[in-house]
Amino acid sequence: MFESAELGHKIDKATYDKEVPALREALLEAQFDLAKAANFPVIILIGGVDGAGRGETVNLLNEWMDPRHIQSHGMGNPSDEELERPIMWRFWRALPPKGKVGIFFGSWYTWAILSRVFGKTRNAELDQSMERNVRFEKMLNDEGALILKFWLHLSKDKQEKRLKAMEKNPKTRWRVTERDWMHFKMYDKFRKVAERVMRQTSTAEAPWMIVEGEDERYRSLTVGKVILEAIRKRLDAAEAPHDAHAPPLLPSIDKLHILKTLDLNQKLTKKKYDLDLEKYQGKLNLLTRSPKFTEITVIVVFEGNDAAGKGGSIRRVTGALDARQYQVTPIAAPTEEERAQPYLWRFWRHVPRKGRVSIFDRSWYGRVLVERVEGYCSNADWMRAYSEINDFEEQLVRNNTVVLKFWLSISKEEQLRRFEERQKTGFKRFKITDEDWRNREKWEDYEMAVCDMVDRTSSEMSPWTLVEANDKNFARIKILKTLCERIEAALK
Q: How far apart are CA 366 and CA 387, in angstroms?
A: 14
pLDDT at 238 over 90: no
Count Cα neighbours of 196 within 13 Å in the Cβ-side half-sphere. Answer: 20
In this structure, what is the dihedral angle of CA atoms 123, 129, 134, 136, given to the nearest 10 degrees?
Answer: 180
pLDDT value of position 343:
97
Chain centroid to CA 195: how far?
Answer: 26
Q: How far apart are CA 331 and CA 360, in angstroms?
A: 7
Q: Average pLDDT, stretch 348-370?
A: 97
User: What's the farthest any 2 CA atoms get from each other in the chain?
Assistant: 89
CB of 212 closer than 8 Å to CB of 154: yes
Q: Which residues contact 334 (CB under 8 A, 6 or more apart)?
A: 346
Q: How far apart are CA 129 and CA 113, in angstroms?
A: 10
Q: How far apart are CA 117 and CA 186, in angstroms?
A: 8
Length reported for the chain: 492
Label residue 227 by pLDDT band (50, 70, 90): very high
Helix residue ranges, H only, 375-471: 379-398, 412-424, 434-440, 443-457
Residue 144, Ramachandran bin (φ over 0: left; ψ between -120 and 50: alpha; else beta): left
Positive/negative CA dihedral, 60, 63, 68, 73 = positive
Q: Which residues contact 201 (CB under 8 A, 6 or more apart)?
A: 109, 130, 133, 134, 137, 208
Q: Average pLDDT, stretch 97-104?
A: 97
Q: Average pLDDT, stretch 233-248?
A: 74
Q: Is 112 helix (H, G, I), strand (E, B) or coil?
A: helix
**Structure confidence by residue, pLDDT tens digits, 404-459:** 999 999 999 999 999 999 888 877 777 788 888 888 999 999 999 999 999 999 99
Intervals of CATH 3.40.50.300 along the chain: 3-236, 258-491
CB of 113 closer than 8 Å to CB of 75: no
DSSP tag of 130: H
Select from 462, 470, 466, 430 the least CA-distant residue to 451: 466
Q: Is 22 helix (H, G, I), strand (E, B) or coil?
A: helix
CB of 54 closer than 8 Å to CB of 162: no
CB of 9 closer than 8 Å to CB of 212: yes
Q: How far apart are CA 320 and CA 359, in angstroms?
A: 13
CATH superfamily, with its number, for domain 258-491: P-loop containing nucleotide triphosphate hydrolases (3.40.50.300)
SS3 string, 335-376, reads CHHHHCCCCCHHHHCCCCCCCCEEEEECCHHHHHCHHHHHCC
- Identity of the amino acid at 363: S
**Structure confidence by residue, pLDDT tens digits, 364-411:** 999 999 999 999 999 999 999 999 999 999 999 999 999 999 999 999
In this structure, which topology does domain 3-236 adopt according to CATH?
Answer: Rossmann fold (3.40.50)
DSSP tag of 247: P
Q: Is 122 helix (H, G, I), strand (E, B) or coil?
A: coil
CB of 397 closer than 8 Å to CB of 462: yes
Q: How many CB atoms lie within 10 A of CB 442?
A: 14
Q: Is 259 helix (H, G, I), strand (E, B) or coil?
A: helix
**Structure confidence by residue, pLDDT tens digits, 21-39:** 999 999 999 999 999 999 9
CB of 65 closer than 8 Å to CB of 58: no
Select from 156, 176, 157, 180 the least CA-distant residue to 168: 176
Please name the helix (run of DSSP H) or strand (run of DSSP E) that holds residue 200, with its range, or none: helix 187-201
Q: What percentage of the chain reaches a pLDDT higher than 90?
A: 89
Chain centroid to CA 439: how far?
Answer: 29
Mean pLDDT of the chain: 95
DSSP tag of 97: P
pLDDT at 81 over 90: yes
Q: Average pLDDT, stretch 39-68?
A: 95
Label residue 243 by pLDDT band (50, 70, 90): low
Select from 351, 367, 362 the least CA-distant residue to 303: 362
